[in-house]
Amino acid sequence: MAFTIAIDGPAAAGKGTVSRAVAAHFGFAHLDTGLLYRAVGARMLAGIEPVEAARTLRAEDLEDDALRTPEVAQAASKVAAIGAVRAALVDFQRAFARRAGGAVLDGRDIGTVICPEAEAKLFVTASAEVRAERRHRELTDKGVQTDFATVLADVRERDARDMSRADAPLRAAEDAVEIDTSHMDIDTAVATAIAAVETAV
């Protein structure tokens, strides 16, 4: 039986970790839809026209470690504002969502546009400062040279672009359960998310 859990929210709110843990808990497949936009962004940086890049995206394009850099994140949020890029990625995401055995999709517009009929919807958020602190730690741990002010400016710029675009802007679906992880550790955020899914069914 298909069962879809939609998890949306801004960058570095803990969505990815929560989504992976929720998927593991329920034994569902997981799709990080940000990777689709990152892969298109990376292909644009390599000189491919973004709509063409979205239409010809292959599964192996999603498996590149280079997709995790701040440059690719910025490129992703730029191509994500192009309606024809978003349109080219809809069918793949919807098919994934309705696969047998259940699916967790995380992104920006899963509960609002991709899967408005999802059985459970969560909106995972945190203050921009807390998110920038987490992202800064993550990048530093990976050996990337950066400072907090740059990461905070980057998070704010991406938030502003994601929330203000005309097509599928970042916002919580009306029926989404909001989880603010600003003052939660990961275990608490995951437990809160699992409890919210359980009450949604």
Count how many residues are written for the chain: 201
- Identify the three-state secondary structure at position 117: coil
Where does residue 183 rank: exposed (0-12), middle (13-18), buried (19+ CB within 10 A)?
exposed
Of 33 and 181, which CB lies nearer to ligand C5P in the complex structure? 33
Element (H, E) at 120: strand 120-125
Of 162 and 195, which CB lies nearer to ligand C5P in the complex structure? 162
CB of 201 to ligand C5P, least distance (A): 23
Cα separation, 39 vs 64, in Å, equals 8
CB of 71 to ligand C5P, least distance (A): 12
Q: Which two tokens stand for residue 16?
A: 């990815």
Cα separation, 134 vs 183, in Å, equals 12
- Helices vs strands, H then E, count in the chain: 8, 5
Cα separation, 145 vs 182, in Å, equals 25
According to DSSP, residue 184 is labeled -
CB of 22 to ligand C5P, least distance (A): 16
**Where on the chain is the footprint of ligand C5P (CB under 6 A)?**
11, 33-34, 37-38, 73, 76-77, 80, 107-110, 158, 162
Cα separation, 192 vs 180, in Å, equals 10
Q: Is residue 127 left, alpha or beta, with left meaning phi > 0 and alpha meaning psi from -120 to 50?
A: beta
Of 178 and 198, which CB lies nearer to ligand C5P in the complex structure? 178
CB of 83 to ligand C5P, least distance (A): 11
Of 8 and 102, which CB lies nearer to ligand C5P in the complex structure? 8
Of 3 and 8, which CB lies nearer to ligand C5P in the complex structure? 8
Of 77 and 181, which CB lies nearer to ligand C5P in the complex structure? 77
